[in-house]
């Protein structure tokens, strides 16, 4: 076990996180690993049935399994209804967040009064009338504009920028390079030129939200852009002005959401998925990776997919040529059906 690493017995883990311990509950765990690579002091998990055979060969000190796989491993194990979520909680238990510093770094520029429990890193800049909750951590190089409120326990990693008056809830995690509250893309045409529309709304982010590196969330033009509680947003995601993202929704990397989109709760947008502006997605809507959603979805739990699987280039060129002729082919089929119907009538 590495020097200084946290460790817990299997029984201690179950006492904190729930689940049933089978086998030796005193065995100590310091790290989470995969079934294929785990060894002494490491706990693995089975969340996908196709890896079940690895329960017979793994060298893990213990495993996390569902009830249907409880008899598949002879060693110590924790049985739980959701092994994947349980693994995530064990990993968090063994790897608590580290601030890396305490207090306010001497190079930080702070124009607001902060609680003693707040940590502010080097070269950070905090404007006027900023409200930071207890145990907020602001890493190096962050810029927090005037009038921003950030809830207790939130962490901003290096070089995050939060523009003026934005609101971030409790226990948020904002990763490096994210920009919260930049101007939305609002311009009014006037002849050949474009007149900038002031973006006077805010960004309001709920509790327990995580936002990935280099993601941007634009402020509203008039009303606020709202990210609901529990949302998880990956790296390099663009959320435009006036969007409302429902609670517990998930957006994977490189997704893009145009302005004034409303998503219900528990929506999922796959990697590089795109959502056109001014539409509404019902609760539980899933947009597959690489898919463009252009119309509102009113049916809860709907799944949209609109991308062809990759194929050899020569096959793609041939199929694309056929697709270009589909409209003419449809016209010919309609004409033939009409003639057949006329012949049947004469007969």
What CA–CA distances, in Å, run from 330 to 263, 318, 320, 342? 36, 18, 16, 18
Give the DSSP letter string of 267-316. Answer: -EE-TT-EE-TT-EE-TT-EE-TTPEE-S-B-STT-EE---PPP--HHHH
For residue 219, the SS3 value is coil
Assign 217 to helix, strand or coil. strand
Catalytically annotated residue among 241, 266, 313, 322? 241
- How is residue 25 written in tokens? 């509950």
**C-alpha span between 99 and 2 (Å, rounded):** 20
Q: Round to whole Å and give the CA distance between 179 and 172.
A: 14
**Cβ-contact 120, 114 below 8 angstroms:** yes
DSSP state of 220: P
Catalytic (active site) residue 241: yes
Instruction: Determine the Cα–Cα distance for residues 18 and 11; give it in Å rounded to an integer.
Output: 10
Q: Which residues are catalytic?
A: 241
């Amino acid at each position: 076990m590495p020097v200084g690493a946290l460790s817990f017995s299997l029984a201690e883990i179950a006492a904190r996180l729930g689940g049933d311990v089978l086998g030796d509950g005193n065995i100590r765990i310091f790290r989470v690993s995969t079934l294929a690579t785990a060894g002494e002091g490491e706990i693995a998990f089975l969340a996908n049935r196709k890896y079940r055979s690895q329960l017979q060969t793994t060298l893990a000190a213990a495993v996390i399994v569902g009830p249907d796989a409880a008899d598949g491993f002879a060693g110590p194990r924790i049985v739980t209804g959701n092994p994947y979520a349980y693994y995530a909680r064990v990993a968090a238990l063994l790897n608590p967040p580290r601030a890396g510093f305490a207090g306010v770094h001497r190079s930080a520029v702070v124009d607001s009064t902060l609680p003693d429990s707040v940590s502010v890193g080097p070269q950070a800049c905090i404007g006027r009338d900023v409200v930071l909750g207890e145990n907020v951590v602001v890493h190096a190089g962050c810029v927090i504009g005037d009038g921003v409120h950030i809830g207790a326990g939130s962490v901003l990693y290096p070089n995050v920028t939060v523009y003026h008056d934005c609101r971030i809830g409790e226990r948020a995690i904002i990763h490096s390079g994210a920009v919260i509250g930049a101007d939305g893309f609002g311009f009014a045409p006037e002849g050949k030129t474009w007149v900038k529309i002031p973006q006077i709304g805010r960004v309001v982010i709920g509790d327990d939200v995580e936002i990935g590196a280099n993601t941007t969330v634009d402020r509203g033009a008039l009303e606020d852009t709202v990210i609901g509680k529990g949302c998880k947003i990956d790296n390099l995601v663009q959320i435009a002005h006036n969007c409302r993202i429902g609670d517990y929704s998930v957006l994977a990397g490189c997704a893009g959401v145009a302005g004034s989109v409303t998503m219900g709760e528990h929506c999922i947008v796959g990697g590089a998925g795109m959502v056109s502006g001014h539409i509404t997605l019902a609760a539980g809507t899933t947009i597959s990776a690489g898919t463009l959603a252009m119309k509102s979805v009113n049916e809860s739990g709907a799944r949209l997919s609109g991308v062809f699987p990759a194929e050899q280039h020569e096959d793609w060129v041939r199929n694309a040529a056929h697709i270009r002729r589909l409209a003419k082919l449809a016209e010919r089929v309609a004409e033939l059906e009409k003639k057949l119907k006329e012949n049947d009538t004469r007969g």
